[in-house]
Structure 1
């Protein structure tokens, strides 16, 4: 059902450390940027998209594509010098979907969205994959879009595109946002609840949403993704680079393309990960803990 292109990952540095990175390689072993070099579509005629998995379901480490680093590896988000982990707002454990991003998209921070009245968040668009299988970090899934919700995060539009892996047992039944409630009752409610409360254990207020938290349908979501894809095209097509983002790539043949040997040097400059390399989490008990939240 899916036109699956093979990608592999190359982990560098010790996990649970500031040095940990996940680089991507194509089928020939050439390093690539998961943001710029993996196409948005796996099969455009069937509207099947490529999703880069940053965070497997049930995990807590807040991983993200490093948009400001060469070849944009996945790294753990850092705040005030500390690695970030999401808490477990009861009854949820970590992220409740496979969480990631669509390649070749960008939420333009200078563009005010007419439907949310807020600017973009300067990242590739976020994707939730709601299927049954727990994916692997760095995996590239073929998904179809079902709908979207929009957070307003610190005054910025933060779209969350809801998708399903095309190989999931429910994929044929799920074709639009209403099908999610029909075949997975309670899932959309849990999704909105999670996004609303997940920052509260860290002392932050409840998140706000555009559209009063209503999930928009597939057609609406596909238009949002198309718009962010056009923003990305404009970003990588503009020279010189006025953003603080790293636009190096190996496939686009533009001003930011690098040679194979240079892409390999970028990866090889990072320490190789040993199977024994794993730094203990400083406060594992806080990661495992359930936080009971009462909204006013």
Structure 2
């Protein structure tokens, strides 16, 4: 399937939104309506780019907003940016999420002993092509890191675009070290230190900071896909309200939250516009010299 994006509001402002459209220009939910698998038999999954590589704006699927547009995270009334931690510039991969997955905040993972973070599974796409906000890439899974964030399990699944020149050579996590030496080490360091400039401690990585293999990562994806299925079909009806999730969708058969494109709320979504973007903070020009070893 082909997808398009509809962006409204000034980029880098709290009003900015990127909606995902189908081929007919109709808004769909990236959380619920894009299938997890592009080709399940071949192990090809759909991945939604929230944050293009080298950029700093902390964009994310708005899980609580109608039709789940991508927006910039806001804290204390200010849009959020990730600082440049030397030698990194912004995010060092295309960062985003798997559709139709959900890290259940009531489920305690037996390996990490922490509950889920109430979001779709995070994805780090390591191919050479820089994506764009709202892009849907087809990827294959290579492995994962298990970040522990505020005592919650926050999986970071490592994938590569199936069209990348190295895709045929990368089939499991150990292949990344062979063909992209240094990337996993840099990824681990980035995940540990990126919050330090904001006054936060070094992040914890479970499993003794090991990069987990493809088999383990696929197990995580399948489990969180099942959690999403129970959410979207109301098998756990209280969770939608308790965790401020919007489950409106146009494509999930059997979901009591399925709506039509003629739903009145659809007509209230603005058409695309080209408002000038807001200036980014001058602090984004600064290097922060920190280390997980300090």
Instruction: Tell me the distance in 2 between the aligned counterparts of 1:287 and 1:60.
Output: 8
Q: Is the 8 A contact 2:9 2:275 kept in 1?
A: no
Q: Is the 8 A contact 1:49 1:143 kept in 2?
A: yes
Instruction: Tell me the distance in 2 between the aligned counterparts of 1:159 and 1:122.
Output: 11
Query: How big is the shift at 1:30?
Result: 1.6
Helix, strand or coil at the partner of 1:261: coil
Q: Is the 8 A contact 2:6 2:18 kept in 1?
A: yes
Instruction: Tell me the distance in 1 between the aligned counterparts of 2:239 and 2:41.
Output: 34
Seen in structure 2, the aligned counterparts of structure 1 residues 286 and 266 have a Cα distance that, compared at 3 Å, is farther
Find 1:177's aligned residue among 173, 178, 181: 173
Unaligned runs of 5+ in 1: none
Instruction: Tell me the distance in 2 between the aligned counterparts of 1:268 and 1:88.
Output: 40
In the alignment, structure 1 residue 49 sits paired with structure 2 residue 45? yes
Q: Is the 8 A contact 1:62 1:76 kept in 2?
A: yes
Query: How big is the shift at 1:289?
Result: 1.0
Q: Is the 8 A contact 2:67 2:248 kept in 1?
A: yes
CA RMSD of aligned residues (A): 1.3
Aligned pairs (5 A) from 1:276-295? 276-281=275-280, 283=281, 285-294=282-291, 295=293
Query: How big is the shift at 1:267?
Result: 5.2
Query: How big is the shift at 1:269?
Result: 2.7
Instruction: Tell me the distance in 2 between the aligned counterparts of 1:50 and 1:174.
Output: 17
Q: Is the 8 A contact 2:38 2:46 kept in 1?
A: yes
In the alignment, structure 1 residue 127 sits paired with structure 2 residue 123? yes
Aligned pairs (5 A) from 1:243-258? 243=240, 244-253=244-253, 254-258=255-259
Q: What's 2:229 paired with?
A: 233
Query: How big is the shift at 1:272?
Result: 4.4
Q: What's 2:239 paired with?
A: 242
- Work out the number of aligned pairs and report it: 288
Instruction: Tell me the distance in 2 between the aligned counterparts of 1:83 and 1:144.
Output: 32
Aligned pairs (5 A) from 1:29-178? 29-178=25-174
Instruction: Tell me the distance in 2 between the aligned counterparts of 1:235 and 1:90.
Output: 40
Instruction: Tell me the distance in 2 between the aligned counterparts of 1:172 and 1:22.
Output: 32
Instruction: Tell me the distance in 2 between the aligned counterparts of 1:17 and 1:127.
Output: 24
Unaligned runs of 5+ in 2: none
Find 1:216's aligned residue among 212, 218, 234: 212
Q: Is the 8 A contact 2:10 2:274 kept in 1?
A: no
Q: Is the 8 A contact 2:8 2:274 kept in 1?
A: no
Q: What's 2:16 paired with?
A: 20
| Off by >3 Å, runs of 4+ in structure 1 | 239-242, 265-268, 270-274
Query: How big is the shift at 1:280?
Result: 1.7
| CA offset digits 1:143-199 (Å, max 9, x no partner) | 000000000000000000000000000000000000000000110000000011100
Could you tell me the TM-score, scaled by structure 2's length? 0.95
Could you tell me the TM-score, scaled by structure 1's length? 0.94
Helix, strand or coil at the partner of 1:50: strand
Query: How big is the shift at 1:28?
Result: 1.7
